[in-house]
Amino acid sequence: MTLQTTSEPRSPVYFDRMIDAFHAGTTGRHAHLGHWNLRDDGTADDYGTEDPNAFARAQSRLNSEVIRMASVAPGTRILDVACGFGGLIQTLDELLTNADLTGINIDIRQLEICQRLPSVNDNALRWQEADACDLPFADATFDTLFCIEAMFHFASRDQFLAETRRVLKPGGVLVLTDVVLLQDDRMPSFCFDAILNDGYGPWPDPWCESGDATTLLKSSGNWTDIARIDATQNTLPSYGYIAPQHVRDHHAPNDVAARSALLLQWLHTNQLLRYEYVSATVGAKS
Ligand SMILES: C[S@@+](CC[C@H](N)C(=O)[O-])C[C@H]1O[C@@H](n2cnc3c(N)ncnc32)[C@H](O)[C@@H]1O
């Protein structure tokens, strides 16, 4: 297990609280919305805000979904970009043998938490401080690259995808999840922007004006088998955990992260936020 560092941290604002929560034992290694299976009537299976483990189960389910999309194999090299507290690498480590699993993050504090994770399967676990738009790896290094719920923070989706294409081997697979906000005239854009960036920033291109992941992958000509799954409804119930009623009642007026969570909930509930899973395979260079 190795940890390399290069620069000062620049992590999203809400992670100050998440790191405290991790150390207090009130949050686990997954820092994403999770995935709820839906019944025929559209309600979430297994949802219950009284059950403290339901959210963690939903988060494990999201990991299973993205791992299934990637068809990961033993003995391969896998990169998790913006690895959070190492939850996805922990899941991969439990599944695989002879694998080389690397997590990168902009925030050294999260990587220090990752570094405490032992491999249960004698896989090589590596952690490195790096910016997703400037990956410190040679061309054609990895078989699979994941990026879960983080791309909206990056300075440029396009630059990140170019870096992804560069560090993946020919035939290598990318699986990401991303949040796309949709324009709406019910609220002026500067409100979205200010509230989002205060609590959940950096979020430089909320409306994907430079293109969403699928558009960018298609237009680059370097990818094949591009697939998108709309998981908007599968992620929606999670606000019952990240923005519960007591946050709404007591924290929202003065707490920037709580305000951002409530804004995201409002957008998500009003179909102004699309949560998507995207996969693609490195094809021939155009
Ligand atoms: C919502 S969390 C998701 C974490 C993890 N992928 C997971 O699913 O648990 C977003 C992550 O993106 C990381 N991040 C933000 N900007 C980054 C950048 N430019 N380069 C690398 N990581 C970044 C944050 O530090 C944080 O760990």
72-90 burial by CB neighbour count: b if 16+ within 10 A, else e?
Answer: beeebbbbbbbbbbbbbbb
pTM of the model: 0.93
pLDDT digits (tens, 9 = 90+) for 25-42: 988 999 999 999 999 888
227-244 pLDDT, tens digit each: 999 999 999 999 888 877
Question: CA 110 to CA 108: how far, in whole Å?
Answer: 5
- CA–CA separation, 72 vs 94, rounded Å? 12
Q: What pLDDT tens digit does each residue of the chain (286 aa) get?
A: 444 444 343 678 788 888 998 999 988 999 999 999 999 888 888 887 778 789 999 999 999 999 999 999 999 999 999 999 999 999 999 999 999 999 999 999 999 999 999 999 999 999 999 999 999 999 999 999 999 999 999 999 999 999 999 999 999 999 999 999 988 777 777 777 777 888 888 888 988 999 999 999 999 989 999 999 999 999 999 988 887 777 777 666 677 888 888 888 988 998 899 999 999 999 965 4
Phi/psi region, residue 260 (left: phi>0; alpha: psi -120 to 50; beta: rest), is alpha
Burial of 97 (0-12, 13-18, 19+ CB in 10 A): exposed
Domains of the chain: 2-36+43-282 (3.40.50.150)
Instruction: Write the burial class of residue 278 (CB in 10 Å: 0-12 exposed, 13-18 middle, 19+ buried).
Output: buried
The residues lining ligand 1, judged by C-beta closer than 6 Å to any ligand atom, are: 11-12, 15, 30-32, 82-84, 87, 105-107, 110, 131-132, 148-150, 153-154
Give the Cα separation of 223 and 173 in Å (integer). 9
Of 153, 154, 203, 277, the residue with max ligand 1 atoms within 8 A of its CB, to mutate for a pocket test, comes to 153
